[in-house]
Amino acid sequence: MTAGGRRALALLLAHSALTQVVTFVLRPASAYRALELDVPAAWLGALTASFAVVPLLLAVPSGQATDRFGERRVLLAGAVLVLASAALFATGRGGAAGLVAASVVLGTGHLLSVVGQQAAVANTAGPGRFDTAFGHYTFAASLGQALGPALITAVGGSGTLPDTRPVFLVAAGFAVALLACTAVLRLPARAAAAGAAERGGMGTLLRLPGLLRALTVSCIVLAAVDITLVYLPALGADRGLAAGFVGLLLTLRAVASMTSRFFLGRLVALLGRRRLMLTSVLLSAASMAAVAAPLPPAALVALVVLLGLGLGVGQPLTMSWLAEVAPAGLRGRAMSLRLTGNRLGQVLLPSTVGLLAAGVGSAGVLWATAGALALAGAAARRLAVDGGTGA
């Protein structure tokens, strides 16, 4: 890889971390602000949904825009919208409706940033380096997601309801840094990318062998991560575990996922993509099922670490596989298609397992999720990801 390519990848990693820091400051801070305003429960639901619904509707068009106009323009548009959302939150105007509007802007800016980042990583890393590049990319994103909530406590105080105005201002400062990072980002020219985009389209991607299996693995793994964030605390409450211990479990899960992502390139070199994907998904399924069983705290700690190691692999591996099999001029659309599948999985899987396991509590939800991960393992077993072709 050239020096320019390495510099571009380094800036993309910083861009990813900054995007997630701003997002993971603004989203919880907006919820605290809504509580300050005593908004009705319906508005809280709208605030949560407004961030996710817009990306679901605009994911594929954003991928098309990335392939047509280039990643840098899409990244600039995303950074501007993220900064605009932070400014809207900081003004405090419009009450609950203003919070929802700002959340819509944030969700759109976050979407454009993520699609642009993933397409840029795919087009910059080059064949043979996709696994390492996407492992480091997702590591940077996870780091930003961990730092964001910590800033709320550092700036807003440790009270039940933090002071949100300085939090919003700090988020705006990080958004300015994001825009500056985007402004200095220079991506390598993409020869023949426009021609590939003209010749192909979404139909070309949908005909890729193994695409549905890869998207299935990706969405189930991501939904399983979301489920652990909600149902590990619920399981702890059911079994009388201290909130601090449950928080430690969630932190260990996140750190373990970051570790497997950071070393993803070496793990692929050691095991191969197919074996690593299958092993990671089945490890996640077995660990999730075991966590739901009555166990002493030390065993829970060990199992949650294994769970995090397994869950950390699925996302970057499916990204690297898509980057390898998708034509250069269609990688923005390929990444946006993966994001669409992920969002659907985040909506459908938690609600489905919740209904199936309604009679057996949080442990039942975790067991049902383990079953879904086992199905993802079956899909991974039939996905020929080592050579970039599907079975």
Q: What is the CATH number of the domain that holds 153?
A: 1.20.1250.20
Q: Do residues 26 and 142 share a domain?
A: yes
Q: What is the pLDDT of residues 269-305, one digit of tens each?
A: 898 888 898 999 999 999 999 998 888 999 999 999 9
Q: Are residues 125 and 236 in the same domain?
A: no
pLDDT for the residue 354: 67
Residue 195 lies in a domain: no
- If asked whether residues 178 and 230 sit together in one domain, one would say no
Q: Are residues 306 and 166 in the same domain?
A: no
The model's pLDDT over 146-196, given as tens digits with 9 standing for 90+, comes to 888 778 878 876 666 778 889 899 999 999 999 999 999 887 665 444 444
Q: Does 120 lie in the same domain as 264?
A: no
- Kindly state whether residues 231 and 373 are assigned to the same domain: yes
Separation between Cα atoms, residue 159 and residue 162, nearest integer Å: 6
Tokens coding 193:
């990318």
Are residue 304 and residue 167 in the same domain, yes or no? no
Question: What secondary structure does DSSP assign to 29-98, as a single string?
Answer: HHHHHHHHTT--HHHHHHHHHHHHHHHHHHHHHHHHHHHHH-HHHHHHHHHHHHHHHHHHHHHTTTHHHH
Longest Cα–Cα distance in the chain: 60
C-alpha span between 348 and 198 (Å, rounded): 34
3-state helix, strand, coil split of the chain in percent (to 5) is: 85, 0, 15
| pLDDT of res. 44 | 67
Q: Please enumerate in sequence order all residues whose Cβ is within 8 A of that of 367, keeping only pairs 6 or more positions apart, or say none.
A: 288, 289, 292, 357, 360
Q: Is residue 176 part of a domain?
A: yes
Would you say 170 and 153 are in contact if contact means Cβ atoms under 8 Å apart? no
390 domain-assigned: no
Q: Are residues 130 and 220 in the same domain?
A: no
Q: Is residue 88 part of a domain?
A: yes
- CA distance linking residue 90 with residue 350, whole number of Å: 32
Which of 150, 185, 220 marks a domain boundary? 185
Residue 30's domain spans which residues? 3-185
pLDDT of 387 higher than 60: no
Q: Is the pLDDT of residue 374 over 80?
A: yes
d(CA 345, CA 141): 20
Structural domain includes residue 196: no
Let me know whether 226 and 138 are in one domain.
no
Number of folded domains in the chain?
A: 2
Are 225 and 111 members of one domain?
A: no
316 & 228 share domain: yes
What's the CA gap between 297 and 91, in Å, rounded? 45
Is residue 13, in this structure, part of any structural domain at all?
yes
Is 388 part of any domain? no
Tokens linked to 235: 């399981």
Residues 242 and 290 in one domain: yes
Report if residue 260 sits inside a domain.
Answer: yes
pLDDT at 326: 79
